[in-house]
Amino acid sequence: MKSIRPIVILSIMLLFMNLSVSEAQTTANISYTVSFPEAQAHYADIEMHISGLKQNVLDLKMPVWTPGSYLVREYAKNIESFSAEAGGKPVAAPKINKNTWRIAVKGKTAVTVKYRVYANEISVRTSYIDASHGFLSSSGIFIYPANMLHQPSTIHIKPYQNWAKVSTSLEMVNGDPFTLRAPNYDILFDSPIEVGNQDVFGFDASGVKYEICMYGGGNYDKERLKKDVHKIVEQEAAIYGENPNKHYVFIVHNHLRGGGGLEHLSSTVLGASRDAYGTDKGYQSFLGLVAHEHFHLWNVKRLRPIVLGPFDYDNENYTTNLWIAEGFTEYYQEIIVRRTNLYSPENYLDQLAGEFNILENLPGKNVQTVAESSFDAWIKAYRPNENSNNTTISYYNKGAIIGMMLDLEIINDSKGLHSLDDVMKYMYTEYYKTKKRGYTDAEFKQGFEKFAGKKLDDFYKNYINGLTPVDYNKYLGYAGYKITDELADNNDPALGLTTVTTANKKVIVTSVSRGTSAYIDGINVNDELAAIDDNLITDASSMLNGKKTGDKINVGIIRDGLPLTLPVTLLKSTRVKYKIEPVDNATPQQLLVRKKWLSL
């Protein structure tokens, strides 16, 4: 049974009543032709043809967001020159709201619509077109007929100049790479399309055809990449017991400085730096990104919170569970790379300690729970401001730490018999495969409890819906590890702010941490730090040289063009820098948990 929220059902019913949409609509035939006559100026020209219409009114809409990236991006802002015709004659197509065009089609069975999309934003979730290639992020390219998300469509690609290849997980029609078929709009919007002369290579893994499509060049070693990505793919499929795709595409955009990734059902888009493949750090970080986005093909694309599909493309889709959808994916990306032996155990533990340090150095850890962080992704995580560190945490970061806590708890309680893997596989089988729907908060909690062998009410109260500090040594202790703070003996003072130095050597405050000297004594973001006592500030990193915790100093600032002197009492830096180390004399149980956890 597919679960659709009551409000969606209601709005669909209203649409049916208002627009007299008939059942015959299911026979509508929809095709798009995408051409690039002005690729050099970042344009795609779209021609959409719909036939088999039997209604009086046709509303055409553009999604306001891309699933996986939780921000309303208003893709309709990039559309221009929208026109429609029927029977060879122009018909009116007025906009009725920010992302909907309405066409009166009474007595007409077919309509052709033309529009242009300006695509000049380089990111994994926005389209980008220039003379060298076209990257189509489908939810920002294709308008869809309201109430026809279930409809299939055909996409014809007319490449620009010498572009010779199309890379996408959409199926080709009759073996023609420039003619594609989408079985419905959820699949179309979940299938980015790369057109150009990308470097394509691949491998087969457990019966699935994998393609890696590299745009932009880079110092990657194809054979090494194929081998290592293959290992990651196999490790991840082993967790869930199956690889549900037939064909999977990695679209990789290499830039001078690139990063980020966006997951899709049968593909992913990754950003990378061209020279990243040449260093251990850069290469490991790329493999971590591969492991992350590929893991999503199960976690969030199939095993998903109940509101994340079927999607509402007009509005925010709220969930308190991004700490599982994203946080656990963050946890697994590193542990999977560890399992392939591409990370040593020490590499892995250093990376994990880095996650602890991010959370523990954020004042927002005392303000926002991980469930709240998930829910407010739309207005907070994706719209940070200068005060975000004081008020928010990342559901990626704390979610990864919670993944570690639950993994270790389950391994310890089951004496190495079970792990978080079993929860993921059980939830995937139970909800995606058997019940064919998303999960609720309570259902995932029951999944944890099934393998933890106990109720997790207190765990949820403390860590998911509460602000209880994480007891790292309790969880790491299960595996015979502990944290030590390398800065524990540090008594140096700190102002508790970050700065940027401008081209003309002005030191400007960019953030102020709650509870620090700067926060308490009133230094603000955008203040120019001009002097401390009688010494002019030329370098932020040395401005406290010679000062001690407890010193009272005068900070000369320029605020809104006016000079001001603020008396400041220097407090001790509160920063921590954890390192994970083995305990002395680990017990057999601790060694057993360690072995299972780190795949030793």
Q: Which residues contact Zn ion (rule: CB under 5 A)?
A: 326, 329
Rounded Cα distance, 553 and 565, in Å: 10
Least distance to Zn ion from the beta carbon of 191, Å? 18
Q: What single-letter amino acid sits at 403?
A: G
Helix axes 222-240, 420-427, angle to 10 degrees: 80
2 C-beta neighbours (distance < 10 Å), count: 9
Compare residues 394 and 573 and give the one whose CB is closer to Zn ion: 394
Rounded Cα distance, 431 and 186, in Å: 19
CA atoms within 13 A on the CB side of 376: 16
CA atoms within 13 A on the CB side of 581: 10
Residue among 264, 166, 250, 270 nearest 205 (CA): 250
Least distance to Zn ion from the beta carbon of 279, Å? 23
Compare residues 320 and 329 and give the one whose CB is closer to Zn ion: 329
Compare residues 167 and 299 and give the one whose CB is closer to Zn ion: 299
Least distance to Zn ion from the beta carbon of 329, Å? 5
Compare residues 329 and 340 and give the one whose CB is closer to Zn ion: 329
Least distance to Zn ion from the beta carbon of 326, Å? 5
Rounded Cα distance, 449 and 468, in Å: 20
Q: Which two tokens stand for residue 329?
A: 């994916």
**For residues 408 and 475, is the Cβ–Cβ distance under 8 A?**
yes
Rounded Cα distance, 71 and 63, in Å: 12
**For residues 472 and 37, is the Cβ–Cβ distance under 8 A?**
no
Compare residues 76 and 124 and give the one whose CB is closer to Zn ion: 124
Compare residues 235 and 329 and give the one whose CB is closer to Zn ion: 329
Least distance to Zn ion from the beta carbon of 67, Å? 12
C-alpha dist (Å) from residue 511 to 362, 487, 491, 498, 517 = 12, 22, 22, 5, 13
Compare residues 67 and 140 and give the one whose CB is closer to Zn ion: 67
Compare residues 329 and 357 and give the one whose CB is closer to Zn ion: 329
Element holding 284 (H helix, E strand): helix 280-295
Least distance to Zn ion from the beta carbon of 262, Å? 8
Compare residues 142 and 328 and give the one whose CB is closer to Zn ion: 328
Least distance to Zn ion from the beta carbon of 299, Å? 9
Least distance to Zn ion from the beta carbon of 327, Å? 9
Rounded Cα distance, 147 and 567, in Å: 63
Element holding 44 (H helix, E strand): strand 43-51
Least distance to Zn ion from the beta carbon of 68, Å? 7
Rounded Cα distance, 69 and 313, in Å: 12
